[in-house]
Amino acid sequence: MKKISQLLETQSKSKSDDSEIIHIHSALASLLYEAARVDRNVTDEDLTVAAESLSRLAKISIVDAQQFLVTASKPENRPTSYHPLATIINENFTYEQKCQLITSMWSIAHSDNHVDPHEDHIIRKISDLLYVSHQDFIHGKISARKTQI
């Protein structure tokens, strides 16, 4: 009887862990897609950079990253508030990982060689919600710009 309950407990915890990982990946995909969408011109280059970024940040395949982005792109999945997404990231990411996310968002913004004011605004807002310092926010912006040149 103990073995059965231990097995069920292990399976339940495994399912719970998988669910949490999916929530983290979905939050990342939503934030990265918002960086692509906010200028009202989602390009293939935006989506390519977003998929590569999601793959790197979440340590998943490009195919999985693209699927998360497709899900995030659906109007019914668009966030009405960034606070819940930021909470998920704050609870599960280190400061360095949050800085990498901001740099990735800047890379998406720079992918068309023009940063729209809406892109700047959303990245600044997400940076504030993730408690990323202004210095690291600017460092991410400059770093992303240099990799585009």
CATH number assigned to the domain with residue range 2-148, chosen from the 4 options 1.10.540.10, 1.10.3680.10, 1.20.120.1770, 3.40.50.1820? 1.10.3680.10
pLDDT digits (tens, 9 = 90+) for 123-143: 999 999 999 999 999 999 999
HSE-CB of 123 using CA atoms within 13 angstroms: 31
Q: What is the pLDDT of residue 5?
A: 45
What's this model's pTM, rounded to 2 decimal places?
0.86
Computed from CA positions of residues 31, 36, 42, 46, in that sequence, does the dihedral angle turn out positive or negative?
Answer: negative
pLDDT digits (tens, 9 = 90+) for 6-15: 433 444 444 4
SS3 65: helix
For tokens 């720079």, what's the residue? 110
Distance separating alpha carbons of residues 70 and 59, to the nearest angstrom: 18
Radius of gyration of the chain (CA): 17
Tell me the DSSP string of 85-103.
HHHHHHHH--HHHHHHHHH
Distance separating alpha carbons of residues 141 and 104, to the nearest angstrom: 9
SS3 41: coil
Alpha helices of 38-133 — where are they, by DSSP H?
Answer: 44-58, 62-73, 83-92, 95-110, 117-129
Distance in angstroms between the alpha carbons of the first and the last residue of the chain = 63
Q: What is the pLDDT of residue 16?
A: 54
pLDDT digits (tens, 9 = 90+) for 34-85: 999 998 889 999 999 999 999 999 999 999 999 999 999 999 999 999 999 9
pLDDT digits (tens, 9 = 90+) for 87-105: 999 999 999 999 999 999 9
